[in-house]
Amino acid sequence: MRQYAAIDDWDKYLDITEEGILNRIRECTSTGRLAGDETFATRLEELLGQTLRPKTIGRPQK
């Protein structure tokens, strides 16, 4: 198993060159949201038994 702390250049290690992909990863990491598509989100929710998508903001209506 490779030690992740020993990786100095993550761009080279992951072979990510597109700035759009990097921006998407940064955005999802900072907000705590999934970086995958709907199929990925659905599968993870089924495996974990939890809702992972954002819920509506605010107090529920009475």
Query: What number of residues does the chain have?
Result: 62
* pLDDT at 25 (0 to 100): 86
* pLDDT at 10 (0 to 100): 74
* pLDDT at 46 (0 to 100): 94
pTM: 0.53
16 contacts: CB under 8 Å, gap ≥ 6? 10, 22, 25
Tokens of 23: 């921006």
Predicted confidence (pLDDT) per residue in 1-49, tens digit = 556 667 777 777 777 667 878 888 888 899 888 888 889 889 999 999 9
